[in-house]
Amino acid sequence: MTGKGASRARRGRPRQAEVARLAGVSQTTVSLVLGGNKQGITLHEDTRRRVLAAARELGYVPDPAARRLAAARNNLLGVFSFTATFPTAVEHSYYPFLVGVEQEAAARGYDLVLFTGSSSGSQAAAPGALERVRLADGCLFLGRHLPADGLRRLVEHGYPAVHVGRHEELAGLAWVGVDYVAASFEVVRHLEGLGHRRVVLVREDDEAPASTDRERGFRSGLAGPGAGDAVVRTADPASDITPGWLRARLAEGVTAFVAEETDTGAAWRALLAAVDGAGLSAPDDLSLALLGSPPADLAARPEPAGFDIPRAALGAAAIRMLTALLAGETADEPLVACAFRPGTTAGPPPAAP
Amino acid sequence: MTGKGASRARRGRPRQAEVARLAGVSQTTVSLVLGGNKQGITLHEDTRRRVLAAARELGYVPDPAARRLAAARNNLLGVFSFTATFPTAVEHSYYPFLVGVEQEAAARGYDLVLFTGSSSGSQAAAPGALERVRLADGCLFLGRHLPADGLRRLVEHGYPAVHVGRHEELAGLAWVGVDYVAASFEVVRHLEGLGHRRVVLVREDDEAPASTDRERGFRSGLAGPGAGDAVVRTADPASDITPGWLRARLAEGVTAFVAEETDTGAAWRALLAAVDGAGLSAPDDLSLALLGSPPADLAARPEPAGFDIPRAALGAAAIRMLTALLAGETADEPLVACAFRPGTTAGPPPAAP
DNA sequence: ACCCGGAACTAATGCGCATTAGCAGTGGGG
DNA sequence: CCCCACTGCTAATGCGCATTAGTTCCGGGT
């Protein structure tokens, strides 16, 4: 039974047939005119105008479902998140991304569908929840832990999908990502350019591509030896990165410390605390860098050397990639570059005692 | 011409007809079984099982477009903004709202369409840009300066629309809003409870309902006389609200100052500056309150007495209102209440000299 | 006078599904 | 022995649109 609300909503929603009646033509003609007449059928200019006028007068808007069913497209791009679409915890990083998505989509004449997919816990695992995205012409997928099966099915069926974040496991899934490798490389090079010869990276214990990419860039930026123990991986930075630990590294000749950025910023936080606790300060006693942007609550602290993630650009790139897929074009460059940030926490190493 | 993507997407996807063939039944039966058979047609249990098995074997998933076409609704709610959908300037106030919208929509089984309507300048004024919202079953409208004509048309056609923000001009347009009147009333009462007898409101020169409502609440909260000049309206708080002005008020016996919250926070900013400039401090020399939340960059300052706008709750209320309209129910309460915030800027008035 | 070709449309069809009307079979009551 | 109610299913239809295969009208050529 059709819901009462639905029928209300539909009443007054004009169809092509009504436009046709008002314009004194057939539904076919209306479809032709409004659809751009790609089949090149000759239509009188007056007719065209009459149809257009009638459509405007009635406020006609095509039904996306019908359009889709008739095997066309509906100018809708989807955004599907495997966490809440609007996560509350990472608002500061998520919002700019959406800004980029919206602007690029608008510029290309697409509207956005936000699939409230997995936000409501219970429905999350519902098989077929993913399939709803087919309403849109193509879809962006966000989140680290994607249901591989569902996504694979979509991709295999040729559905245009773009994952936000590097993703090589699922062959055929297009993705866009941040070039953490190059950005991290650049930070290390900057430090070495300042004269640092031994640099340590503190990273959390996470296998996300965003983490491993940073480490890769870090390592490839290291010139000298000692790269073997240049990376410290810890599940609990707060208790592992202590003033004592810091002093020991300094004693070994390490002069610069680099922290990975994560949602929590734990590594950076621990590093700052250790420096404070040891009674030292950057950039005089040692240099610090952050592979990303500092958490919002640390905005008052001195600006860390490092790089900024161009989140809006990432969103725009994702949309560009998706529309390229839709157009059947070959894919763009999937990586967006970060902006190097000199900051105030890195300088030349202190003169040897 | 059918897009390549669309046809590719379709190839290989099983339909009900194929499931039916495999199960040895009709398409109707498949639809009945998979659709839950809400019409109560008697079906043999074996048949049901065969259909289910066949569907599983083929990996059948219903086509949402077809489903929605047949059901005459598409489970889509729109969000249309007369500024960019994701404004960059007021992110801190906008994001929480969207969080509420999303959660409530998800809970009710709706997806969201963000109309990139007026964000891309050029398209903004396009007549009929508004009509695109008809794509969704109903729509939220945000922004102060709405194109009344377009909206009226939608409303007259019976299109379910909800404006976010009080809006009485356009009859028939449903709205949800923040109860600034009650919240402001409460703030004034709090101040009077502390002993303040003369209180002044500093507001910007704006006729927005959000402003007039605050003033209304403020005035109705005032107990004593002198309410006539208790409200100062200024187009340029920074130059009107000076230390000198402040001293003059104090000399008149005013002991508490209340600022309206706006996007810029100019009134509050000016008030703080005047207090500083006069070498005074709250709550010792005078009491301050803010009818809203402080701007983000003033987060480090002492927490103002006042109230917090429950933005997420507002978003949720908007969706509830909209779904109520869709269901043909009578409208909910349109006002959401604010949370009183004692803050640290208000205390008893100083003892008379 | 007749045919032909282009201009300007329209009728008919199908997309995949939900829904409604209806049809065969079966057993029981009158 | 006929009618009826009931069980268990299917044919037919329509949602709103895009597309394909026509159809009608008209002026020129021969």
Residues near strand D (C-beta below 7 A) are A 10, 13, 15-17, 27-28, 31-32, 34-35, 38-39, 41, 60-63, 66-67, 69-72; B 1-2, 24-29, 32, 41-44, 46-47, 66, 69-70, 72
Q: From the list B12, B96, B111, which residue is nearest A157 (CB)?
A: B12
Assess A114–B contact: CB distance below 8 Å, yes or no. Answer: yes
Summarised one tens digit per residue, pLDDT across range A179-196 is 999 999 999 999 999 989
Task: Round to whole Å and give the CA distance between B331 and B322.
Answer: 9
pLDDT at residue B125 greater than cutoff 60: no
- Chain B neighbors of A38, CB-CB under 8 A: 1
With cut-offs at 50, 70 and 90, classify the pLDDT of residue A120: very low
CATH fold for domain B4-71: 434 Repressor (Amino-terminal Domain) (1.10.260)
pLDDT at residue B123 greater than cutoff 70: no
- Chain B neighbors of A71, CB-CB under 8 A: 2-3, 6-7, 10
Task: Round to whole Å and give the CA distance between B318 and B316.
Answer: 5
Q: From the list B73, B98, B116, which residue is nearest A6 (CB)?
A: B73
With cut-offs at 50, 70 and 90, classify the pLDDT of residue A16: very high
Which of A61, A76, A123, A311 should one mutate to test binding to chain B, selecting the residue with the greatest count of B CBs within 10 A?
A: A61
**CA–centroid distance for B308 within its chain:** 14
**A201 near A229, Cβ under 8 Å?**
no
Mean pLDDT of chain A: 84
**A127 near A102, Cβ under 8 Å?**
no
Task: Round to whole Å and give the CA distance between B66 and A213.
Answer: 43
pLDDT at B3: 33
Is the CB atom of residue A191 positioned under 7 angstroms from any atom of strand C? Answer: no
Across the interface, whether the CB atoms of A111 and B107 are under 8 A apart is answered: no
Helix (H) or strand (E) holding A200: strand A199-204
Query: Is pLDDT larger for residue A147 or for residue A11?
Result: A147
Which residues, numbered 158 to 177 in chain B, qualify as contacts with chain A under a Cβ-Cβ cut-off of 8 Å? 158-160
Where are the CATH 3.40.50.2300 domain residues in chain B? Answer: 76-178+313-336, 180-309
Task: Round to whole Å and give the CA distance between B140 and B137.
Answer: 11
Determine the straight-line distance between the first and last CA of chain A, rounded to whole angstroms. Answer: 85
CA–C1' distance A156–C2 (Å)? 59
Summarised one tens digit per residue, pLDDT across range A182-239 is 999 999 999 999 989 889 999 988 788 888 999 999 998 887 655 557 888 888 888 8
CA distance A5 to chain B (A): 4
Across the interface, whether the CB atoms of A158 and B9 are under 8 A apart is answered: yes
Residues ≥6 apart with Cβ < 8 Å to A158? B5, B8, B9, B11
pLDDT at residue B114 greater than cutoff 70: yes
A22 backbone dihedrals φ, ψ, rounded to 5°: -65, -35
CA distance A224 to chain B (A): 43
Task: Round to whole Å and give the CA distance between A304 and A301.
Answer: 8
Task: Round to whole Å and give the CA distance between B295 and B281.
Answer: 20
Summarised one tens digit per residue, pLDDT across range A139-172 is 999 887 778 888 888 888 788 999 999 988 888 8
Determine the straight-line distance between the first and last CA of chain B, rounded to whole angstroms. Answer: 86
Q: Strand D: which bases are under 7 Å from protein Cβ?
A: 7-12, 14-22
Q: From the list A59, A86, A300, which residue is nearest B131 (CB)?
A: A59
Helix (H) or strand (E) holding B52: helix B45-58
Is the CB atom of residue B20 positioned under 7 angstroms from any atom of strand C? Answer: no
Q: Give the nearest nucleotide to B27, CA to C1'.
A: D10
CATH fold for domain A4-61: 434 Repressor (Amino-terminal Domain) (1.10.260)
pLDDT at B122: 41
Summarised one tens digit per residue, pLDDT across range A309-323 is 999 999 999 999 999
pLDDT at residue B98 greater than cutoff 70: yes
Summarised one tens digit per residue, pLDDT across range B294-351 is 887 777 778 999 999 999 999 999 999 999 998 888 777 899 999 999 999 999 988 7
- Chain A neighbors of B128, CB-CB under 8 A: 56, 59
Which of B38, B76, B111, B153 should one mutate to test binding to chain A, selecting the residue with the greatest count of A CBs within 10 A?
A: B111
pLDDT at residue A243 greater than cutoff 90: yes
pLDDT at A117: 62
CATH number of the B76-178+313-336 domain: 3.40.50.2300
Where are the CATH 1.10.260.40 domain residues in chain B? Answer: 4-71
With cut-offs at 50, 70 and 90, classify the pLDDT of residue A136: confident
- Lowest mean pLDDT segment, chosen from A7-16, B5-14, B187-196, B269-278: B5-14
What contacts 24+ positions apart, CB below 8 Å, involve A331-337? Answer: A331/A174, A332/A176, A334/A166, A334/A174, A334/A175, A334/A176, A334/A177, A335/A176, A335/A177, A335/A178, A335/A179, A335/A182, A336/A176, A336/A177, A336/A178, A336/A179, A336/A310, A337/A179, A337/A182, A337/A183, A337/A310
pLDDT at A5: 35
pLDDT at residue A122 greater than cutoff 60: no
**A186 near A289, Cβ under 8 Å?**
no
Instruction: Tell me the residue length of chain B.
Output: 353
pLDDT at B78: 92
Mean pLDDT of chain B: 84
Task: Round to whole Å and give the CA distance between B108 and B322.
Answer: 11
Task: Round to whole Å and give the CA distance between B268 and A154.
Answer: 52
With cut-offs at 50, 70 and 90, classify the pLDDT of residue B180: very high
Mean pLDDT of A64-87: 78
Mean pLDDT of B202-225: 85
Task: Round to whole Å and give the CA distance between A39 and B264.
Answer: 53
Alpha helices in B108-195 (DSSP H): 148-156, 180-194
With cut-offs at 50, 70 and 90, classify the pLDDT of residue A31: very high
pLDDT at B96: 86
- Lowest mean pLDDT segment, chosen from A299-308, A330-339, B296-305: B296-305
Where are the CATH 3.40.50.2300 domain residues in chain A? Answer: 76-178+313-336, 180-308
CB atoms within 10 A of CB A240: 15
Mean pLDDT of A104-130: 71
CA–C1' distance B32–C18 (Å)? 8
Query: Is pLDDT larger for residue B167 or for residue B229?
Result: B167
pLDDT at residue A1 greater than cutoff 60: no
Residues ≥6 apart with Cβ < 8 Å to B65? A64, A65, A66, A68, A69, A134, A135
B328 backbone dihedrals φ, ψ, rounded to 5°: 75, 15
pLDDT at A4: 33
**B227 near B219, Cβ under 8 Å?**
yes
**B62 near A128, Cβ under 8 Å?**
yes
pLDDT at B225: 57
CA distance A103 to chain B (A): 7
Across the interface, whether the CB atoms of A86 and B99 are under 8 A apart is answered: yes
Mean pLDDT of A121-134: 63
Mean pLDDT of A294-319: 89
Among residues A75, A51, A1, the alpha carbon closest in space to that of B36 is found at A1
Report the share of chain B in percent with pLDDT over 70: 88
With cut-offs at 50, 70 and 90, classify the pLDDT of residue B146: confident
CATH number of the B180-309 domain: 3.40.50.2300
pLDDT at B57: 87
Mean pLDDT of B286-300: 86
Mean pLDDT of A69-80: 83
Is the CB atom of residue B16 positioned under 7 angstroms from any atom of strand C? Answer: yes
**Domain A180-308 = CATH 1.20.5.440:** no
Instruction: Find residue B163's DSSP bridge partners.
Output: B141, B175
pLDDT at A143: 80
Report the share of chain A in percent with pLDDT over 90: 45
CA–C1' distance A43–C5 (Å)? 17
Assess A36–B contact: CB distance below 8 Å, yes or no. Answer: no
Query: Is pLDDT larger for residue B260 or for residue B133?
Result: B260
List strand residue ranges (DSSP E) for B14-107, in order: 76-81
Q: From the list B6, B8, B105, which residue is nearest A116 (CB)?
A: B105
Two structure tokens written together for B300 = 């480090």
**B5 near A138, Cβ under 8 Å?**
yes
- Lowest mean pLDDT segment, chosen from A234-248, B7-21, B106-120: B7-21
Instruction: Find residue A307's DSSP bridge partners.
Output: A340
Assess B36–A contact: CB distance below 8 Å, yes or no. Answer: no
Two structure tokens written together for B129 = 């840009």
